[in-house]
A and B are shown apart, each in its own frame.
Chain A
């Protein structure tokens, strides 16, 4: 006799419960109880059990078990998968091309060309000698310990994902700043994206795309990293001095003129702060994305964990930290340059 039998007897649902009862496979808990030698049903009656799905199923086979619920979700997702792929596959395909292209480009470029290019980019963004020198030191360190290739892979992925996040995020942020309704609708989505544990992003994506496709990790990284740039674009534009906006209106500026001449330039320090955050978050995600075949330093960390190769893991971990530091320094230097210009003016 299972718990809660009395309930279904009392309310007269016994006939409904047993209508097409078949013997379902035992749950793991029941199996364990049986193998321990006790009678599962008796053990259950011993305490006052919470009427969970599994317990109720024991009393009334018409009620499903919890594993039916997860199976239902999985089947629903699999059923919708083919239709979703028809829509999502072509849309996201360029992402795969971009990632593969960037990876190939970063690796095909010889080191004696790549390092000067990166140093020039660092100088162009930061206009700071110490920062550029530090970037040079880190790149040489990577090359010296034979981690140059993996570092370039990680950098390529961060580069593509950050660029796309900015290209998509800034327009969304502009849209949000123009309409309170849009802001109310989008903010909860951003909150969700930011609070969702990073691993959870990967689950639906693995079902949708095959693990060998680069867009799988590309999408995961972009979804995670796009949030700050959207938020700070919206905030930056909303913080633009209302008097200046009023002056722009009073002289008959069009919406477009106002956006390009007033709002975006004045919001630039905030947008740059968002870009800095986006870079850091895509770097954080690229490590986790190594679980779904993203190449780069993350793979070495994963190897360190899986094979207990302590040294490999530590070196790769330090490499990631160094990469994070140079990306942060360069983008912060660029930000403070923009900020200072804004204030000097």
Chain B
């Protein structure tokens, strides 16, 4: 698809000594279990096709073992694929030679890690400046850039400490500053907030969104947490057993889960907080409204506004324009996961 910053095409990864032969078998319909039991190869990823748009946050979500960490490592080739293409700005990453690959890793993609992966023997400032050091930037520029990005992630004045003197959340801020200092278009975030406790995690998500509003990076974010995925994602990709189960607009996935796996997934979340008014708005029909509501407000705030009165109808505004209406009865229905509504209607 033209315009995609990163396009993954028919990507396969099979772990084992004869992975390329096995790709043909998997394409022929051999399943994961069959492959493991009869051929002693592990199916990591099968037939992945994802387009990631520039300036968007693409969230890849799945449970552990679903292949999400494997997938993100194909983008900068920390893992070699068995078959397929990864196009970054139209260039196939998998065809790059060692020197070009190194350039890609230095100039095009930076990465944030689940376990921070900071250098314990270097100060926070030196860690933040690490990508510049790798590129051979002069000392003065390294100090300046490190200080700038540390300031930006809220760690101004911590430059002389060592990573072990910081809390987990602060260490990950250093990890983000390091990725930002590389000044790349693309940021890969591998379960970047999963090791943090919930309150800190929320802070970090807010920080990321705030940075993103300003910097418009192309971010690939891996998580196993649906709430986090829904909060951050412009484009959501759900992986299961190494295959894409569903991808698209997160609100759309929430309201129209494609299969039971995703229904299970979405059944546990607080829909009122995640769903936006925009997603359940219908064309204007009513003549009289009980008030107006912003399209990006979540349902929770609307329930609070309405005092729980299901008879009310609100007009939906987006940037001053009226784009539809919300009937509180629709809102209540949207709060119930779709699988149950269907059963109720039958």
Contact = CB atoms under 8 A, between A and B. Distances in A.
B105 A249 contact: yes
B169 to A, nearest CB: 18
Nearest to A253: B134
B105 A252 contact: yes
A247 to B, nearest CB: 4
Interface stretch (B11-19, B114-122, B140-148): B114-122
Contact of A345 (B78, B115, B164): B164
Contact of B117 (A247, A254, A344): A247
B164 A251 contact: no
B102 interface: yes
A247 B175 CA distance: 10
Interface string A238-258: 000101101101111110010
Interface stretch (A144-152, A227-235, A259-267): A259-267
Contacts of A241: 117
A251 B134 contact: yes
A243 B130 CA distance: 15
Contacts of A266: 119-121
A243 B164 contact: no
A43 B235 CA distance: 98
A261 to B, nearest CB: 7
A101 interface: no
A64 interface: no
Contact of A342 (B110, B118, B121, B178): B121
A251 B182 contact: yes
A345 B110 contact: no
B103 A345 contact: no
Nearest to B121: A265
A116 B95 CA distance: 62
Contact of B111 (A244, A251, A261, A342): A251
A345 B134 contact: no
A243 B69 CA distance: 13
Nearest to A241: B117
B111 A250 contact: yes
B81 interface: no
A343 interface: yes
A250 B78 contact: yes
Q: How large is the interface on A (under 10, 10 to 19, 20 to 34, 35 or more residues)?
A: 20 to 34
Q: Secondary structure at chain A's binding surface: helix, strand, loop or mixed?
A: helix
Contacts of A342: 120-121
A307 to B, nearest CB: 54
A306 to B, nearest CB: 52
B156 to A, nearest CB: 20
A344 B115 CA distance: 18
Nearest to B178: A251
Contact of B134 (A246, A257, A343): A257
Q: How large is the interface on B (under 10, 10 to 19, 20 to 34, 35 or more residues)?
A: 20 to 34
Interface in A247-289: 247, 249-254, 257, 261-262, 265-266
Given A246-B78, A247-B113, A345-B162, A252 B121 contact: no
Contacts of A250: 76, 78, 105, 109-111, 113, 188
Contacts of B118: 244, 247
B119 A252 contact: no
A252 B117 contact: no
Contacts of A244: 117-120
B180 to A, nearest CB: 12
A247 B111 contact: yes
Nearest to A343: B164
Contacts of A251: 105-106, 110-111, 130-131, 134, 178, 182
Interface string A333-345: 0000000011111
A246 B105 contact: no
Nearest to A250: B111
B164 A249 contact: no
A267 to B, nearest CB: 11
A343 B120 CA distance: 8
Contacts of A344: 162, 164-165
7 cross-chain pairs, A with B, having the tightest CB-CB distances, nearest first:
A252-B105, A345-B162, A247-B117, A252-B106, A243-B117, A250-B111, A252-B102
15 contacts: A244-B118, A247-B118, A250-B76, A250-B109, A250-B111, A251-B131, A251-B178, A252-B104, A261-B133, A265-B119, A265-B121, A342-B120, A344-B164, A344-B165, A345-B122
Interface of A: 241, 243-244, 246-247, 249-254, 257, 261-262, 265-266, 341-345
Given A251-B105, A252-B104, A252-B105, 16 more contacts: A241-B117, A243-B114, A243-B117, A246-B78, A247-B111, A249-B105, A250-B105, A250-B109, A250-B113, A251-B106, A252-B106, A342-B121, A344-B164, A345-B120, A345-B121, A345-B165
Interface of B: 76, 78, 102-106, 109-111, 113-122, 130-131, 133-135, 162-165, 178, 182, 188
